[in-house]
Amino acid sequence: MAADGERDGPMITFLPVGAPAVVACNRGRVRGHRPMGGHGGASRTAVLVCQGRAVAHGRIAVDRFDDPTAMMFLRADERGVVEWVRGGVPPRGWGARLEFEMVRACGEVMVPRTVAIDEALREAVGGADGDREVRRAEQLVVLGAGLDGRPWRMPELAGVAVFEVDHPASQRDKLDRLGDADRLGDAGPPGTAPRFAPVDFSRDDLDAALTSVGHRPTVPTVWIWEGVVPYLTRGQVAATTRVVAGRSTPGSRLIVHYHAPALSALLGRLAGRVLTIVSRRPDPMAREPNRSAWTPAAMRRMLAAHGFTVRRDDDLLTLARRLAVPVRHRQSLRNGHVVVADLLVADFDTV
């Protein structure tokens, strides 16, 4: 799929479908793709949100939020700040304090976002939406998966075929982490291991990549697109949704986390940029700029244009209040949304 960018020849070789989902590509930075700020050009924000989940695990909304995989995905140098935040003692020095605050704030934001997505996912794979029975999704595709640990932490996915799609450099980094010291070896995924498809949404062919790893368009799929939309242009978001819709049969569900436009978010990012420059700390957002924000109405229209009906769209502040978790970052919570949209056809809608 080429949205705004031009299409290149494949940089990556897939092993045959059915083989463990592995990708053969260069170690280190993936050539030909726009590098992000982390290891080998991988996403740095994927690490930040993983740190946020590690901070929240066992401390915030303990009866509803749980992510024991987050800490396991982090490298030793990324765990230090998590331990500080969990200990509640801010470090000395500007730069360290800035990182501390960023990770602490991220922990707060990740809880309502994760809980809302987990619940929508459970409904889809459990074949229920509230009191309604719906077709059960038998496949899960995580778009821009980063260090998402759902396949390893959710027993509900035991009978579900899971596919992880991500930017090639970020996916390479995750596979390295999975391999490193076999951190997740003991836990293991409850079902079959996810299959991995490296895709840059700005230039690669998502449709072909999913076919090559065995995704079946005739079987209901639940799609999770969490924390990725802001990094894509509107054209890339629409083009990706077109492929998702084309590979979705009735009973499929698309769960999108996106940001609403807000001046405060822009000013906050600018302030953060200045602080990271002054304190000489790496800015996790420097190589992952925000490219699109959507009003709920614009998101609903875009989804409807591709056949998806919005079931619910909540901002994270509302979700956080429902969970009765402490709210310190009202504005950034208010800007984040989780929308749950289904592909309906009257005859298929109920069983």
Segment contacting ligand SAM (CB under 6 A): 99-107, 226-234, 260-268, 307-315?
226-234
Bridge pairing between strands 132-133 and 308-315? unpaired
Decide: is 200 part of the binding site for ligand SAM (CB under 6 A). yes
Decide: is 198 part of the binding site for ligand SAM (CB under 6 A). no
Length of the chain: 351
Segment contacting ligand SAM (CB under 6 A): 165-173, 258-266, 321-329, 343-351?
165-173
Segment contacting ligand SAM (CB under 6 A): 38-46, 150-158, 176-184, 299-307?
38-46
- Sign (positive or negative) of CA dihedral 248, 252, 256, 261: positive
Judged by CB under 6 A, the residue of 12, 23, 43, 134 near ligand SAM is 43
For the CB of residue 344, give the shortest distance to ligand SAM in the complex, in Å: 25
Decide: is 145 part of the binding site for ligand SAM (CB under 6 A). yes
What CA–CA distance (Å, rounded) separates 86 from 51?
11
Decide: is 170 part of the binding site for ligand SAM (CB under 6 A). yes
For the CB of residue 263, give the shortest distance to ligand SAM in the complex, in Å: 22
Nearer to ligand SAM, 43 or 252 (CB): 43
For residue 210, give the amino acid letter: L
Q: What angle, rounded to 10 degrees, do the helices at 94-126 and 263-279 form? A: 140
Spacing of C-alpha 152 from chain mean position: 15
Candidates 321, 324, 323, 144; CA nearest to 237 is: 144
Nearer to ligand SAM, 79 or 344 (CB): 79
Nearer to ligand SAM, 134 or 254 (CB): 254
- CA dist list (Å): 287 to 28, 34, 226, 273, 284: 17, 9, 18, 12, 7
Judged by CB under 6 A, the residue of 30, 49, 55, 141 near ligand SAM is 49
Segment contacting ligand SAM (CB under 6 A): 21-29, 84-92, 145-153, 336-344?
145-153
Q: Could you tell me if residue 35 is left (phi over 0), alpha (psi between -120 and 50 degrees) or otherwise beta?
A: beta
Candidates 112, 185, 124; CA nearest to 152 is: 185
Instruction: Tell me the number of residues near ligand SAM by CB under 6 A.
Output: 20
Decide: is 227 part of the binding site for ligand SAM (CB under 6 A). yes
Beta strands in 242-307 (DSSP E): 253-259
Decide: is 67 part of the binding site for ligand SAM (CB under 6 A). no
Q: Partners of 342 in the beta sheet?
A: 253, 309
For the CB of residue 182, give the shortest distance to ligand SAM in the complex, in Å: 21
Nearer to ligand SAM, 39 or 135 (CB): 39
Listed in sequence order, the DSSP H helices in 74-194 are: 76-87, 94-126, 150-153, 168-179
Residue 195: phi and psi, rounded to 5, are -100, 140
Decide: is 148 part of the binding site for ligand SAM (CB under 6 A). yes
Q: Which residues bind ligand SAM (CB under 6 A)?
A: 43, 45-46, 49, 144-148, 166-167, 170, 199-202, 226-228, 231
